[in-house]
Amino acid sequence: MGPFPIQQSVRMYGWGSWRDTVRELAIGVAIGVAYPVIESASSHELPSLESIVRNITIGVCIIGVARFLETVLSWAIEQSRIPTLFRILVYMGGGWVGYFLAVAITGPQREDFALTSFHFIYGLVATAIAAVIVGLIFHHNRKRNDRLMQAVARLKEHEFAEKELEIARSVQRRLLPPPEIDANGFHISARTDAAHMIGGDFYDVLRLDDGSLAVVVADVSGKGIAASLIMASCKTAVSMLATASADPRDIMGALNAKLCSDLQKREFVAMVYAHCERSRIRIVNAGMPDPLLIRDGSCRAVVCRGERLPLGIRSDRSYDSTTIELTDGERLLMFSDGLPEATVNGEPVGYERVEQLARGSRDLIDALRSINGVTIDDDATAVIISRSPAPQ
């Protein structure tokens, strides 16, 4: 806190601390010493001690009074429509007051108050010029230092925020299952890429007590920290509900009711839930793109029946399931809308091109990124379910 904490709601300039006061008065001392030395240089004689003391007193008083007045009137200066002119007038007035104060302290001489003498006029003009120049230098140096300190503070905040985001990203990654899983007769290959440091897409693979498997792919509305927190909560809720019921319709209905009570307006979760048992897969789709069933270069969309509204919007909605048989050599691809909504030269990739890429590649995200000029602005997730090869 500075020595004169007046009107703290307004930006304060002038003396910001006692250190500033001492430093600037020391500069006044240096100016007071330098002036008589320079003035007497033409005579090749050193100035008298009395002259040096007098000029030191004048320099200290001019700077001290001018900067003191700026500090006290800083709130008025900053609220003025003409702050620079106001500040100059304060410096001039403060300089003159300081000059006459110094003259009074050191002992006035007859020419000091001879209104028509050159010495009097010269003293007033020199005092005003010195007070304004030195005051403006101090003021702008203070503003520059303030801006520098603010920039350093913002940089530290930015670095801290990036470090926190990196930690959040690491935690989010640890919440996801491994990218390759063999369980209960199925092979799961999954990948998710966040558009930013952390994302709202996620997938999960749940081994259920009855020997079946549940695979979830979801897309939380929004991006960043808020979406990632909803993602973590939703992932936990799905795990708990899946252990309580094997019917994917009941699980999605219960999850929808929970999210409707937990989420705010314009927050929702699109999700596709696949319950895998032996070769049969029961799918419930709540707002996600239609999964694709791929075999030997052919591809067809699995259109789920019933309600397709994302979770967390309407509590009175119920969901129906669609059942498919997954045979050896077939792959079921579930993906988020970040892939078809990617753009190439400003045009959306679209679902047809996603199907083309899915037929020819087992890594849909890599295949999409290999397109020249592609831009993926949303989180992208792709999960492939296939039958595990029979043990030899």
Q: Assess whether 53 and 92 both reside in one domain.
A: yes
- Does residue 72 sit within a domain? yes
SS3 letters across the chain? CCCCCCCCCCCCCCCCCHHHHHHHHHHHHHHHHHHHHHHCHHHCCCCCHHHHHHHHHHHHHHHHHHHHHHHHCHHHHHHCCCHHHHHHHHHHHHHHHHHHHHHHHHCCCHHHHCCCCHHHHHHHHHHHHHHHHHHHHHHHHHHHHHHHHHHHHHHHHHHHHHHHHHHHHHHHHHHCCCCEEEECCEEEEEEEECCCCCCCEEEEEEECCCCCEEEEEEEECCCHHHHHHHHHHHHHHHHHHHHHCCCHHHHHHHHHHHHHHHCCCCCCEEEEEEEEECCEEEEEEECCCCCEEEECCEEEECCCCECCCCECCCCCCCECCEEEECCCCCEEEEECCCCCCCEECCEECHHHHHHHHHHHCCCHHHHHHCCCCEECCCCEEEEEEEECCCCC
**pLDDT of residue 324 exceeding 90:** yes
Cα 143 vs. chain centroid, distance in angstroms? Answer: 25
Mean pLDDT computed over 333-351: 92
Q: Assess whether 93 and 145 both reside in one domain.
A: yes
Q: What pLDDT is stored for residue 114 in this prediction?
A: 66
- pLDDT tens for residues 95-125? 899 888 888 888 877 666 666 677 778 888 8
**pLDDT of residue 156 exceeding 80:** yes
Count of domains for the chain: 2
Q: Assess whether 106 and 202 both reside in one domain.
A: no
**pLDDT of residue 6 exceeding 50:** no
- Final residue of a domain: which of 162, 194, 224? 162
Q: Assess whether 232 and 158 both reside in one domain.
A: no
Q: Assess whether 146 and 228 both reside in one domain.
A: no
- pLDDT tens for residues 169-198? 777 777 788 999 998 889 999 998 887 777
Q: Which domain holds residue 269?
A: 179-387
Q: What pLDDT is stored for residue 79 in this prediction?
A: 84
Give the pLDDT band (50/70/90) at residue 225: confident
- Does residue 7 sit within a domain? no
- pLDDT tens for residues 19-41? 888 888 888 888 888 877 777 76
Q: What pLDDT is stored for residue 10 in this prediction?
A: 46
Are the C-beta atoms of residues 243 and 209 closer than 8 Å to each other? yes
The mean of the pLDDT values for the chain is: 85
Q: Assess whether 210 and 247 both reside in one domain.
A: yes
Mean pLDDT computed over 354-379: 89
Q: Assess whether 287 and 349 both reside in one domain.
A: yes
- Does residue 199 sit within a domain? yes
**pLDDT of residue 9 exceeding 50:** no
- Final residue of a domain: which of 98, 129, 162? 162
Q: What pLDDT is stored for residue 11 in this prediction?
A: 55
- pLDDT tens for residues 278-304? 889 999 999 999 999 998 878 899 998
Q: Assess whether 277 and 369 both reside in one domain.
A: yes
Q: Assess whether 201 and 313 both reside in one domain.
A: yes
- Does residue 174 sit within a domain? no
Whether pTM > 0.85 for this model: the answer is no
Q: What pLDDT is stored for residue 317 in this prediction?
A: 86
Mean pLDDT computed over 45-70: 86
